[in-house]
Chain A
Amino acid sequence: MASMRDIKRRRASIQSTGQITKAMKLVSTVKLQKSRTKAESSKPYFDMMYETIALMLSKSGNINHKYLRAGSTEQKAVIAITSNRGLAGGYNNNIVKLIVGSAELKPETTKVYAIGRKGRDSLARKGYQIAEDYSEVINEPIYQDASDLTAELLDAFGRGEIGEIYLAFTSFKNTVVHTPTLIKLLPFTMEAAGADQEEAPKAQALMNYEPNEEDVLDMIIPKYMSSLIYGALQEAVASENGARMTAMDAATSNAEEMLGKLELQYNRARQGSITQELTEIIAGANAIG
């Protein structure tokens, strides 16, 4: 049996760990609330964007636009949104697993545009080529970040360096449910956009385009991508904080459970030592008497 001093020391250490996890939980709860409001307020823009694009494509049938065709190269790009910090349960690992496990994204032909240090490091270890690193962005994502990234990706797409663009992020359903999601950004297809086809916007009178359809698509698809990336960033931040909150909550309750067990052990050890002392004294007294 461990000595009383050992148990005491162990108990103190667990107690301070528990305090830290508890504080982290509180912090991420507050952060979660903030990031959740942000994620929700970026939703209408994205929804409208999707509706507009869906309307355009459903109306205009088979437009042969450069963003609607896959590039000729095998190279693919994936934007991997993870976090810069750990201690968030399986949050980062799930994204890495999603990318590694997908049939399209082989390490040899995939360039990673990493947002978040944790994902970047794990993917680099798995043999993926890290094309760019935007890890600072995840601390405080703004729309400009998303549109810069879009511009860069479209540039590479236009030069023929990459043929397909994917986005891997954690979608935020509610405080406890976050789903790692992989979607195809380019070439743009309606199915990939994630919403169900049935919900296609109600048939409207024929839409006119100014200056013309091609130019408008040229303009809108990058904006659509930016809004998708921006939305993904916001949701990822909310998910990260949600995941951390859950993980820290579990850690705190584990610490409490362990403290309870150690308390029992400590009392037993204390009782044991008192009994022993008494036995010794009595034995001593008997020997003298």
Chain B
Amino acid sequence: MADVMKLRVITPEKRFYEGDVSMVELTTTEGNIGIYPDHIPLTAVVAPGAMKIHEADATKEAALISGFITILPDVVTIMAETVEWPDEIDFKRAEEARLRAERRLSSPDSNLDVLRAEMALKRALVRLEMKH
């Protein structure tokens, strides 16, 4: 069994990450998954969450907001619409987004788009999580 696999994270603007990894953790719409080499082929939709990339001797983290993932036994490809390294995140803005979303959710307005506000909150929380 191979102990590393190739991971590619591609955004519309650039190649975000490319390298050999031993494991990658991320969140899909069905829940958190950790992918080791020789995983069964799987295509899944990404939900906002922290992505952890385990390289041979280091671990990297990034905020993966949306996209989808294609897993093959030796290659994992993440087509990310939005993904950010911790140092690219504007924490102040994320904090404001969190407050805004929370306020909207707690307001009594009945024709509020709850789903949208929840998604916004989720995105903000994922970004804030990157701040250690």
CB of A61 within 8 Å of the partner chain = no
A41 & B14 in contact (Cβ 8 Å cutoff) = yes
Cα A92 to Cα B72 in complex, Å, equals: 43
Main secondary structure of the interface of B (DSSP, over half): strand
Cα A56 to Cα B70 in complex, Å, equals: 10
Cα A100 to Cα B19 in complex, Å, equals: 47
A143 & B81 in contact (Cβ 8 Å cutoff) = yes
CB of A48 within 8 Å of the partner chain = yes
Name the B residues within 8 Å of A48 (CB-CB): 8, 10, 77, 79
CB of A220 within 8 Å of the partner chain = yes
Closest to B31 in A: A210
**Known contacts A48-B10, A207-B41, A209-B42; is A219 also within 8 Å of B68 by CB?**
yes
Cα A48 to Cα B18 in complex, Å, equals: 14
Name the A residues within 8 Å of B56 (CB-CB): none
A227 & B41 in contact (Cβ 8 Å cutoff) = no
Name the A residues within 8 Å of B44 (CB-CB): 209-210, 216
Name the A residues within 8 Å of B8 (CB-CB): 48
A230 & B12 in contact (Cβ 8 Å cutoff) = yes
**Known contacts A48-B77, A48-B79, A52-B70; is A143 also within 8 Å of B40 by CB?**
no
B41 & A216 in contact (Cβ 8 Å cutoff) = no
B132 to chain A, nearest CB (A): 28
Instruction: Pick the most buried of A38, A46, A205, A207: most chain B CB atoms within 10 A of its CB.
Output: A207
Cα A226 to Cα B82 in complex, Å, equals: 13
A203 to chain B, nearest CB (A): 11
Complex A-B: 13 CB contacts under 8 Å: A52-B43, A52-B70, A143-B12, A204-B41, A206-B41, A207-B43, A208-B41, A208-B42, A210-B28, A215-B29, A219-B68, A223-B67, A226-B81
Write the residues of chain A forming the contact surface with B, with a CB cutoff of 8 angstroms.
38, 41-42, 44-46, 48-49, 52, 55-56, 143, 146-147, 204-211, 215-216, 219-220, 223, 226-227, 230
